[in-house]
């Protein structure tokens, strides 16, 4: 009964990489013709860990440029940054009062990001999933394209929506909003590269914050950097298997095959049909060609776009205005419902 709407976000924390591209941004482009889409640079999430102000400002523009360079159309969709729409923070506070401590205590990303020094993590890092729920539900979005790492947070968003709908059921009905106010948002996690792993360690996800530059391919990498990183990528001594079964217990091989398949828009089985029995040096050379052909023009376009910061700021200002027009309506209703 809810109109279909897509929402997703990427943090402006630098080092946009192949995982962000395959797990999220390529999906944004694929969905833009079929859905009403809202794509957000989630700068308020970024400051859950320290960000240098000058650098943050630059990275907000860089992520916006990456969206556009990858093919996200800011006219067809809403492209904006979170901090410019105050309703995200407003709704997040209400969700802080809906979500339970026990729910947040189960979030594995907090445990990973806080590390050993948990007492010293920001309260924001802990409450981050509530803000993410607010990002999505301020627009009553029905679908969220994300990588596999966000699955648990999406489940929490559904729990929050459901508890709000239940706790306030009487008030929701009394104010004429029917019997459910928030949709139970579905994640869109599909394809051969929903979890791209580090090129140095097949047990860790490719991440912006990995200290090793060789662990990830960045969208801003030139052809030489891409070639070097792929050549240095960890593999095992066996040739490639000819069937998917043979990837079991070989995380690095599995990762490279998944990346190849996603870039080529084919299945892993197809890729193994071509490369089964061949050695990694041959496969890696083909992967370099594929990655350079696809990422090279994106990196160049990002560079071109970031040379005109005011043009990017204008896109964000326009998007923020359109986003706020929707979020204002949601918050008006939420306040009625809550009794403010
Ligand atoms: P990061 O986790 O690198 O800091 P974000 O949290 O900003 O990046 O995530 C932006 C989007 O990219 C999310 O949809 C997330 O699920 C996706 N993503 C991040 N890392 C990966 C990865 N290694 N593989 C697939 N998708 C990923
Ligand atoms: Na993430």
Angle at 119 between CA 117 and CA 121, to 5 degrees: 75
For the packed helices 309-338 and 280-306, what is the interaxial angle rounded to 10 degrees?
Answer: 90
**40-69 pLDDT, tens digit each:** 999 999 999 999 999 999 999 999 999 999
Task: Give residue 288's pLDDT.
Answer: 98
Could you read off the pLDDT of 120-159 as tens digits, one per residue? 999 999 999 999 999 999 999 999 999 999 999 999 999 9
| Domain range annotation of the chain | 5-194+308-338, 213-304
Write the CATH number of the domain with boundaries 5-194+308-338.
3.40.50.620
Catalytic annotation, pick one of 113, 204, 234, 303: 113
Calculate the average pLDDT of the chain. 97
249 is in an annotated binding site: no
Ligand 1 contact, 10 CB (< 6 A): yes
Binding site annotation covers 147? yes
Residue 118's pLDDT band (boundaries 50, 70, 90)?
A: very high
Q: Enter the pTM of the model.
A: 0.96
124 is in an annotated binding site: no
- What pLDDT does 313 receive? 98
User: Does 11 show up as a binding residue in the annotation?
Assistant: yes
Find residue 317's DSSP bridge partners.
none
Distance CA 13, CA 15 (A): 7
pLDDT, residue 1, reads 80
CA of 204 to the centre of ligand 2 (A): 13
Q: Catalytic site residue 27?
A: no
pLDDT in tens, 3-39: 999 999 999 998 899 999 999 999 999 999 999 999 9
CB distance 146 to ligand 1 below 6 Å: yes
Q: Could you tell me the CA-to-CA distances from 256 to 29, 34, 40, 200, 246 in Å, in that order? A: 23, 30, 29, 11, 14
Name residue, tokens 């402006």: 12
Please name which ligand lies nearest the alpha carbon of 209: 1
For tokens 């005109």, the residue is 308
Q: What dotted CATH number matches 213-304?
A: 1.10.240.10
CA of 126 to the centre of ligand 2 (A): 14
- Residue 113 appears among annotated catalytic residues: yes
Distance from residue 11's CA to the centre of ligand 2 (Å): 8
What token pair was written down for 269? 């089985």
Q: Is 207 in the pocket of ligand 1 (CB under 6 A)?
A: yes
CA of 249 from ligand 2 middle (Å) equals: 25
Predicted confidence at residue 229, as pLDDT, reads 98
**Which of 7, 41, 147 has most ligand 1 atoms within 8 Å of CB, for mutation?**
147
Residue 163 is a catalytic residue: no
Separation of alpha carbons 105 and 114, rounded Å: 12
Average pLDDT for 188-194: 92
Query: CB of 254 closer than 6 A to ligand 1?
Result: no
The predicted complex's ipTM stands at 0.95
Q: What is the DSSP letter of 185?
A: P
Paired residues of 34 in beta bridges: none
255-305 pLDDT, tens per residue? Answer: 999 999 999 999 999 999 999 999 999 999 999 999 999 999 999 999 999
Higher-confidence residue of 246 and 192: namely 246
pLDDT at 276: 97
H helices of the chain, where?
18-20, 26-31, 43-46, 53-70, 87-96, 101-105, 108-114, 123-137, 151-167, 169-174, 223-232, 251-264, 268-275, 280-306, 309-338
């Amino acid at each position: 009964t809810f109109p279909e709407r897509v929402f997703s976000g990427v943090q402006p924390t630098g080092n946009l990489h192949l995982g962000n591209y395959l797990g999220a941004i390529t999906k944004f482009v694929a969905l833009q013709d079929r859905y009403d889409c809202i794509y957000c640079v989630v700068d308020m999430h970024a400051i859950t860990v320290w960000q240098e102000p000058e650098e943050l400002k630059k990275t907000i523009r860089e992520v916006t440029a990456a969206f556009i360079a990858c093919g996200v159309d800011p006219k067809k969709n809403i492209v904006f940054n979170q901090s410019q729409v105050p309703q995200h923070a407003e709704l997040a506070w209400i969700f802080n009062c809906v979500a339970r401590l026990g729910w947040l205590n189960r979030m594995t990303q907090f445990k990973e990001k806080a590390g050993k020094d948990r007492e010293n993590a920001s309260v924001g890092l802990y409450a981050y999933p509530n803000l993410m729920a607010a990002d999505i539900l301020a627009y009553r979005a029905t679908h969220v394209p994300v990588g596999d790492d966000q699955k648990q947070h999406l489940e929490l968003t559904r729990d929050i929506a459901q508890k709000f709908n239940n706790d306030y059921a009487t008030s929701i009905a009394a104010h004429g909003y029917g019997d459910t106010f928030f949709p139970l948002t579905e994640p869109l996690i599909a394809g051969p590269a929903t979890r791209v792993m580090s090129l140095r360690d097949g047990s860790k996800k490719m991440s912006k914050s990995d200290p090793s530059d060789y662990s990830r391919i960045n969208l801003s990498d030139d052809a030489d950097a891409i070639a070097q990183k792929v050549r240095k990528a960890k593999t095992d001594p066996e040739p490639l298997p000819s069937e998917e079964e043979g990837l079991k217990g070989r995380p690095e091989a599995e990762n490279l095959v998944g990346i190849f398949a996603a870039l080529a828009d084919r299945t892993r089985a197809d890729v193994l049909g071509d490369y089964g029995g061949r050695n990694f040096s041959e496969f890696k050379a083909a992967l370099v060609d594929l990655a350079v052909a696809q990422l090279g023009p994106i990196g160049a376009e990002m560079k071109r776009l970031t040379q005109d910061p005011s043009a990017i700021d204008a896109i964000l200002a326009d998007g923020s205005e359109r986003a706020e027009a929707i979020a204002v309506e949601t918050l008006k209703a939420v306040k009625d419902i809550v009794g403010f």
